[in-house]
Each structure stands twice: as structure tokens, then as C-alpha cells.
């Protein structure tokens, strides 16, 4: 008999309650079950698939120190994933599967079917700082805008603190790989990640992002010691590295949000009581992450592409495929938008301020359905997180949780002048504009025409003032 640790979106040793329970109960077998068909349906980015794979190989070595062998099974989708787990459960005569919960609809249905079939799942939570469903208004309901949620979140932490799992105790026992493989029937063949067993899913090199162990040992301590107090000052400037760069690790569970919050609050405990302190700007981002995950927990219809603001269900979004293609390829004629889209396609990441700018442009300037942009982002982002991506797109399109009404429309030219005044970021991704003076680089068309410059930069696909008036009429 051998119980199982089921690895899902928790690719870490620290603050992993399922791992702690597994170690305490002598579990020696862990499994990760990839689902390439399901990943394709959920628009998993190839660079994120590679990032997951690299962290699984790291986790394989880490788990071995606890006497646990990490094996890989391949399924097509969640139904097949459940079937593969059931077969492994039966082959090993297991009595329990230890795992951390996944709150999305399809994942919840899969787990319920497993439980109904007789599989004992011992599930714990570790993907939010405060437990899902624990931050409510006086009516016992989820908040509909962020600021009151933030205030309630802070009060909850002031009173109860943040609960983080203890480190598991290393067992001095060898892994059981050979013994396990001889126990299994021939048609159930798990593989070790170290055998270079692939996902059967396209992967794009993610090596420019270090593994989480290096991030935990050096990047995070350096950020908290030297950069967090300047985060609010530099976070909106895309030409410098002013953000933490931790979102890819949070997305796959390689770094714990609870652990991060505890490190910050232990260093600056007054943050819970004084939101004007410089470092609160970064804590605020962690609270935003919690907000969107709590929102999805309370409103699972969001997973199915529903507008949070149902009054906008009747919006007749434009089915403008040529404009959408221009947006995807960074050929809108608005340099900041185009540079941001090129950054996304070339690197698998986009600066947070620019995500808001390009999302606003797609939904307000072009009046294209936010769901088109949501899917494009997920299919390219190394840090594609469903709840945050969905929340951000609905925020930008005014269909989601937002205290501001529909008439917030970002001007891509003034955004460029404010956050990339010298055009440093723009020129990095649009070499066609290298010789355009700083003053004109944010919208160079008149300068190019007036000076007879032979430029390969494309004309704007929409005029800002006209697009703004059209958007106001569209939403009103």
C-alpha cells in the first residue's frame, strides 16, 4: 500500500500543506499528470509549459530529499487525468491522495467525480493569502469593488494574521522509483522527469527566467531589502526593471503568496495599518491577486467567459479581424501599444502598465470583445493566470469589478509621454523609430510626413478622438 501526493499548481517545497501532510504520513510516491489537450483548450502558452517543465525537474530533485519519487503521467484532458489517477490509486492500493485544491469549475468537477468514485482526496488550500470565501462584506457577500475588499482584507490580517505551512521534515529514506515501477501493470507507465519525458505540448525556451530556488535565495531578499520601497515610484515605467518579476512563479505555484506577504509584513509590520507607506504599493498588488481569485470563487460563471457586469451582455462587439490582427502583431500605429505587443510576442511577458494600455486600446478604441484579448494574452504569457487575466481584461473593458464607469479610456499617446517620455522602451521594440526625436516618438506620423522621412512605421488604424467618442456612444 502506498498513498499518493498529487502535484498540480503547487510546484514548491515551502508553504505546501499537501506536501507536509504527505511527508507526515510516510508517502513515498508523487505524481504530476500533464493534460496537453486540456492545456490547448485553456490556451496555455508554450513558454509557460516550458517554465512548468523546468520547475517540475527541480521539484523532482527536491522531493527526493524527502524520500519521495516524482513521476509523470500523461493524459489528454481532465477526464483522462482522473482516470489515470484512479488507475494509479488502485494499482498502489492507496487509501488517500494528498493534494492542494484548484478552484476553477472544470477542476472542481473533476475532483468531485473522483471523490464520488471512491477516491479519498485530502485537499488543502495554498494559492491565496487569505482563504477563499473568508473576506466578506457585512451582508456575508463578496465585495463588488476592490477598495472595500482591501480594507476588509487588512482588518482580517490584523486580527488573525497569515497562516503559512511549516517546512516538512526531511526523511532519511531513499526514493522508491525502482520498486514502484515493478508494482505497476504494463499499461500504466509513469516516467521520471529526469528521463526527459516530454508533455507532448509545444514548449518555448523560458531560460531567461531563473528557477524559483534562485529567486527565493537571492531575487526576493534583494527586492525586499533594496527595491520594494521604490516599487510605487518605478512600477509604471516599462523601460526599467521596477516590478518584482514574481508573477510567473506565483502563477505555477513555485513561490507562495502567503510566504511573500509574511516576509514583507515581518520586515515592515506598519504596512497593515498605514497604506501610505511606500512598500504598501507592492502589498496592494498581492491583495489584488487575492481579490480576483476570491471573485472567481464566488462567481464561477466568470470561468465561462461571462461579463461580471451583466448589464453589458448586450454589447455588440465589433468582429473586426483585420484590426485584431494588427493589434496582435503590434501594427496599430500607436508606438506604445505596438511596442508592448511586440514585447509580449517576443518575450512571453508584458509590463503591467502596458497590459492596461493595450487592453483599453483593444476594447475601447477598436471595440473588440475583451475575450479575444484575454485568450491572446493567455496563449503568450509566461505568467498567464486565469483569474488575474480575466479580472484585468474585464477591468479594462469596464465589464468587470470596477469603481470607475465605462468612460475611462486610456489615451495611448499621453500614456506614452508620461511613462516612456524619452521613448526608451518604444525604441527597444520598434527600431523603425530609432531616429525620431523624443518629442515626436509617441505619435510620429505628422513629424514623418512633414520632414519627408522614409519610414517603415505604419499608419494608425484608428484616430484617438474619434475612437473615444465612438466608445462612449457604444457603451452608453
How many beta carbons lie within 10 A of that of residue 151, not counting itself? Answer: 14
349 is catalytic: no
Tell me which of 91, 104, 107, 285 is the catalytic residue. Answer: 285
153 is catalytic: no
Q: Is 352 a known active-site residue?
A: yes
What is the maximum alpha-carbon separation in the chain?
Answer: 80
Catalytic residue among 209, 349, 393, 395: 393
Catalytic residue among 6, 370, 372, 395: 370
Q: Does residue 285 have an active-site annotation? A: yes
Catalytic (active site) residue 456 = no
Catalytic residue among 352, 411, 417, 458: 352
Q: Which residues are annotated as a binding site for FAD?
A: 231, 243-247, 282, 285-292, 383-385
Residues tagged in the binding site annotation: 231, 243-247, 282, 285-292, 383-385
Cell numbers of 217, please? Answer: 535565495
Residue environment code for 255-284, b if the CB has 16+ CB neighbours within 10 A, otherwise e: bbbbbbbbbbbeebeebbeeeeeebbbbbb
Q: What is the number of alpha carbons within 13 Å of residue 344 lying toward its C-beta?
A: 28
Active site residue 259: no
In the three-class reduction of DSSP (H, G, I as helix; E, B as strand; rest coil), residue 124 is classed as strand
Exactly one of 317, 411, 417, 432 is catalytic; name it.
317
Residues acting as catalytic residues: 285, 288, 317, 352, 370, 393
Amino acid at each position: 500500500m502506498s498513498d499518493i501526493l498529487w502535484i498540480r499548481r503547487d510546484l514548491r517545497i515551502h508553504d505546501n500543506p499537501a506536501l507536509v501532510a504527505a511527508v507526515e504520513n510516510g508517502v513515498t510516491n508523487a505524481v504530476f499528470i500533464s493534460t496537453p489537450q486540456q492545456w490547448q483548450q485553456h490556451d496555455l502558452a508554450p513558454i509557460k509549459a516550458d517554465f512548468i517543465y523546468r520547475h517540475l525537474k527541480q521539484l523532482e530533485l527536491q522531493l527526493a530529499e524527502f524520500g519521495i519519487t516524482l513521476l509523470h503521467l500523461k493524459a489528454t484532458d481532465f477526464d483522462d487525468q482522473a482516470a489515470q489517477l484512479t488507475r494509479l490509486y488502485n494499482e498502489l492500493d492507496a487509501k488517500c491522495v494528498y493534494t492542494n485544491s484548484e478552484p476553477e469549475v472544470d477542476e472542481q468537477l473533476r475532483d468531485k467525480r473522483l471523490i464520488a468514485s471512491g477516491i479519498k482526496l485530502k485537499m488543502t488550500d495554498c494559492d491565496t493569502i487569505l482563504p477563499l470565501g473568508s473576506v466578506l462584506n457585512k451582508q456575508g457577500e463578496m465585495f463588488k469593488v476592490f477598495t472595500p475588499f482591501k480594507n476588509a482584507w487588512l482588518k482580517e490580517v490584523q486580527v488573525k494574521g497569515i497562516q503559512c505551512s511549516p517546512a516538512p521534515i526531511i526523511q532519511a529514506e531513499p526514493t522508491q522509483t525502482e520498486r514502484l515501477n515493478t508494482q505497476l501493470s504494463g499499461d500504466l507507465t509513469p516516467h521520471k522527469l529526469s528521463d526527459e519525458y516530454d508533455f507532448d505540448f509545444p514548449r518555448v525556451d523560458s531560460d531567461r527566467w531563473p528557477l524559483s530556488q534562485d529567486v527565493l535565495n537571492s531575487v526576493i531578499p534583494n527586492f525586499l531589502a533594496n527595491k520594494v520601497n521604490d516599487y510605487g515610484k518605478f512600477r509604471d515605467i516599462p523601460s526599467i526593471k521596477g516590478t518584482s518579476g514574481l508573477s510567473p512563479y506565483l502563477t505555477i505555484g513555485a513561490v507562495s503568496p502567503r510566504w511573500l506577504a509574511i516576509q514583507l509584513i515581518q520586515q515592515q509590520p506598519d504596512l497593515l495599518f498605514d497604506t501610505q507607506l511606500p512598500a504598501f504599493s507592492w502589498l496592494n498588488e498581492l491583495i489584488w491577486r487575492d481579490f480576483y481569485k476570491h471573485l472567481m470563487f464566488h462567481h464561477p460563471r466568470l470561468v465561462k467567459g461571462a461579463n461580471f457586469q451583466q448589464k453589458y451582455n448586450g454589447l455588440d462587439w465589433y468582429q473586426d479581424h483585420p484590426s485584431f490582427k494588427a493589434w496582435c502583431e503590434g501594427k496599430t500605429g500607436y508606438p506604445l501599444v505596438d511596442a508592448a505587443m511586440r514585447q509580449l510576442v517576443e518575450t512571453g511577458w508584458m509590463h503591467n502598465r502596458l497590459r492596461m494600455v493595450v487592453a483599453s486600446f483593444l476594447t475601447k478604441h477598436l471595440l473588440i470583445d475583451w475575450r479575444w484579448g484575454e485568450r491572446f494574452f493567455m496563449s503568450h504569457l509566461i505568467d498567464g493566470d486565469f483569474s488575474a487575466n480575466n479580472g484585468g481584461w474585464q477591468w479594462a473593458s469596464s465589464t468587470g469589478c470596477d469603481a470607475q464607469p465605462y468612460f475611462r479610456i486610456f489615451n495611448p499617446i499621453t500614456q506614452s509621454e508620461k511613462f516612456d517620455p524619452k521613448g526608451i522602451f518604444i525604441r527597444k521594440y520598434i527600431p523603425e523609430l530609432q531616429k525620431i526625436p523624443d518629442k515626436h516618438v509617441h505619435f510620429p506620423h505628422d513629424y514623418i510626413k512633414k520632414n519627408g522621412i522614409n519610414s517603415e512605421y505604419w499608419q494608425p488604424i484608428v484616430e484617438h478622438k474619434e475612437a473615444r467618442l465612438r466608445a462612449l456612444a457604444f457603451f452608453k
